[in-house]
Structure 1
């Protein structure tokens, strides 16, 4: 299945999201701005007091006047230091709280994504956004954001101070900054697209590495090492090119900026010197103006560095916020809510991304409370059919409905209450056994947890753990093997208590005895609910109410176990092969 990328938020969406974050903590943001303004105001006193000292000395004033000015200069410097530290502390606290909101919103949106959207985009893109992109945004909120505010306020105050000293010198200083403005415009026109391309390339690298690592055994079995290595090399080369492009942008931008810093200072000294010679300005005013413009290079340089960082973090924030633009199910808009549990598959055809059809005109009705087994050879379309009935994918042609409502139109929360698909792939989350179970039902009492474990035959080994339900699992704790992880996943299903349960070889990692016990226990627990089992062990089909046989994307047989064995068709051949008995008509097994 070809991979795409999740959407990216546009500039307007990013601006709205940033304003929402500020509004969520307006008081803290206002405090940060106020403290920065006070720190910048205290910093303005230094050059002005130094200019007064020069004029006082030239005027022949005594040492006492200079000492008083020097004391004031020291006090202002200490006040600036205190206020700047306080402002940075407040800014970091604001940044950390805001980052927490960004992370929580990202997780909520990721969990609300339809499974088909995640699978089409690939886990690499989602992982890159949730790790590197969120980290970049966090660093900006914690460090770049507060520093940008501090230096922006300082730069505005310094430029204003030069205008107050002399409007002509102020205008000259601003004119001298024109090359910086031109370089900044050149950079901003190219930076966002460059960083978005870099982020997309990073997602591609993460995706191909994750897919290769997860399918390492398959790669080895089919001798695909060279092909996967070549694909990884191509992805890395693309990533290298995008990173070199953004490096080129930074190199040109900062080189032009560094050269431009000396222009306003030199211009003020030349014009100011001429004005002083003609008696139009005091020497102290010229020195103060030059010092203000020299000081301006510090915060201005910091601002430009942060602006560059903001381009990278802005692109990352656009990728993080892009989840809000990801396709949602129609049910989220129309409030689809089925009144009943009957599943109807009508004239369904399906192909992956325009390829060959995997399902070819399937018609099937599953009544409430029925236990249906779906069997057939590998590649027959069993898993694809289960995905369509679970609402993960939408049929290319035809419909899959629950009580007349298309399954793909159900919102994620409603879908999870209606239909749950359990596959061979299970995950043990970091945390205790109790935490792993309560993911399905946070309010579950301890008795409910033990009942769910007992239903899937997992209570015995959990009781043997050092701390029982409170035993940590995963890295640093007890490591659950594949069959135990599968049982935990099935226990979560029991707690979720869905109307319809689809088992896609969900007990494949269990030994035959445990698998049979688990399936029968689950059937007892889910009595009265619909159970659809994609079966690779035919004892599952034997216990089902009906058996559906899939061959080459078509539903070729449908009936009870006894009826299909008596019919002597494909299912009968599979059944005799499973038991090691040759079919009576001598046909080969499917």
Structure 2
């Protein structure tokens, strides 16, 4: 099982959150509890009246008394049915409100996660929590919680009614208590960890399947199908073992509980019969007591049956709450404000895996309004440096500041207003073209959206769509080629208007001529903004104010295009190679 899975919240945190969640709806909760109490009380009147009916018949009371008692029993049965109906409706409404609150908060947590956290954990774990865990918790909130509450209230009221019917007749209930308590304690000591493990292995399965689907072409090209199948089989085997364990817990616990149900009924009949023969209790009391004990089986059975579902829901809630548990709390209103837009990188080291550094002692200063191009061979660390500048990752050593304030100290929403990253990876959301662009500024006017599209040379083809800006795109909508989807992403960036932009191969899906025209247009629109362009197409470097050459995780050259070409170093070799000039082997080895 991957050790990089997102964390899980502790038991105390889960309980506190659950209490707080229901406390947000005090009136609704009070109404639900009240309706269930009244429904339970109405149901408890019937057995007592039935006992009175038995005594009335035994004592030879008239038909009028018997009819009156029978009518009362029927009336309370109808009243209970009506109250149960409204109680269940109220419970469902409360459950939906609580579930809606929980889903909204979960989405907020997910969207606030740093990309580094998502990348470290993998999409499978997050996807499993978003789907399977949310569904499990939904069932728990809508069904298990209200059913457990109803069962607990009914059980307490039945016991109270039994005591009122005859205190001595309540004593046989204690016969089942030791067995029931011992079995339940055995189960509860093992179930939470078992269900957490079961949910975690599902994350591993989802992660492996997602990797196989996303990398299907690579798997096919490298003929790794057998290895991927073996990986999936191993993941499924771990899932089977986890589910086998929780099933074992249920197959031990449930029979113990079922056996404990029978004992109180038998004990009440035996003890009640003895007491009746001795004249200690009446036949009516005995009749009512036996019915109450029989009635007690249903709420106890529901309580313990739904207890298993509560364990599943508790495990799901712990995983949902744990999504951002290891992330530092965002800086509040008292966080330092950046003094300007100057970005400084001082002695930065970074490693994705401890002990294997990707960047080694990077020092760099970006002046406001400067355009910096970062070039170098593949795998040199260019994209990693760009992601550090955008605050996606935090340095393992050293410091990156904007306006004198460390990037890591800025709240996420403020960080994105300061620095924005656009990569060759892009996503078109389900919605209109306008929605896809204006999502960075929901209140943006149409003319601003059109201006952003024009800046990336996309306005003409957008207006030519079936419904123009109102055309629905994304999954199931109007299909957009990769190049057009990339232009949508760039239009978002223009509308967001951060003071620093990091473009990591942001125009790679366009043909070279269109990409060059687009970058020049962007440069005009974004004049005065700091731009960091990471590219293999060296015309980006030619147009930049400075060029940083990154090799083996270090900046080996830094200067203007003309100065670096004149220096005849690694950048000059890259430039001549890109233009198709023959470069001596020794020079190419130096540059790579």
Query: Normalization by structure 2: what TM-score?
Result: 0.96
CA drift at 1:220: 3.2
Q: Secondary structure at the match of 2:420?
A: strand
Structure 2 CA distance, aligned partners of 1:49 and 1:284?
9
Structure 1 CA distance, aligned partners of 2:390 and 2:223?
34
1:569 is matched with 569
CA drift at 1:309: 0.4
Structure 2 CA distance, aligned partners of 1:492 and 1:188?
51
Structure-2 change in CA distance of 1:510 and 1:48 (3 Å)? same
1:119 is matched with 119
1:58 is matched with 58
Root-mean-square deviation over aligned CA pairs: 1.8
Q: What does 1:371-386 align with in structure 2 at a 5 Å threshold?
A: 371-386=371-386
Instruction: Answer yes or no: is 1:136 the counterpart of 2:136.
Output: yes
Structure 2 CA distance, aligned partners of 1:213 and 1:558?
41
1:298 is matched with 298
Kept in 1, the 8 Å contact 2:113–2:324? The answer is no
Q: What does 1:51-450 align with in structure 2 at a 5 Å threshold?
A: 51-328=51-328, 331-332=331-332, 335-450=335-450
| Higher alpha-carbon deviation: 376-385 or 201-210 | 201-210
Kept in 2, the 8 Å contact 1:88–1:147? The answer is no
Structure-2 change in CA distance of 1:123 and 1:332 (3 Å)? farther
| Higher alpha-carbon deviation: 232-241 or 502-511 | 232-241
CA drift at 1:330: 6.5
Kept in 2, the 8 Å contact 1:419–1:499? The answer is yes
CA drift at 1:171: 2.2
| Higher alpha-carbon deviation: 67-76 or 353-362 | 353-362
Instruction: Answer yes or no: is 1:486 the counterpart of 2:486.
Output: yes
Unaligned runs of 5+ in 1: none
Kept in 1, the 8 Å contact 2:48–2:165? The answer is no
Structure-2 change in CA distance of 1:269 and 1:553 (3 Å)? same
CA drift at 1:587: 3.9
Q: Secondary structure at the match of 2:72?
A: helix
CA drift at 1:398: 1.9
CA drift at 1:295: 1.1
CA drift at 1:436: 1.2
* Number of residue pairs matched by the alignment: 589
Kept in 2, the 8 Å contact 1:437–1:492? The answer is yes
Structure 2 CA distance, aligned partners of 1:224 and 1:346?
43
| Higher alpha-carbon deviation: 204-213 or 53-62 | 204-213
Kept in 1, the 8 Å contact 2:570–2:587? The answer is no
Kept in 2, the 8 Å contact 1:329–1:408? The answer is no
| Higher alpha-carbon deviation: 105-114 or 74-83 | 105-114
CA drift at 1:3: 5.5
Kept in 2, the 8 Å contact 1:330–1:408? The answer is no
Structure 2 CA distance, aligned partners of 1:145 and 1:329?
31
2:555 is matched with 555
CA drift at 1:551: 1.2
CA drift at 1:190: 0.9
1:38 is matched with 38
Task: Note the alpha carbon deviations across 1:434-493, whole angstroms, 9 max, x for none.
Answer: 221122111111111111111111111211112112211123321222112211111111
CA drift at 1:586: 8.3
Kept in 2, the 8 Å contact 1:114–1:329? The answer is no
1:501 is matched with 501
| Higher alpha-carbon deviation: 229-238 or 46-55 | 229-238
Structure-2 change in CA distance of 1:400 and 1:187 (3 Å)? same
CA drift at 1:186: 1.1
Task: Note the alpha carbon deviations across 1:75-121, whole angstroms, 9 max, x for none.
Answer: 11111111111011011111111111101111111122222222222
CA drift at 1:252: 1.0
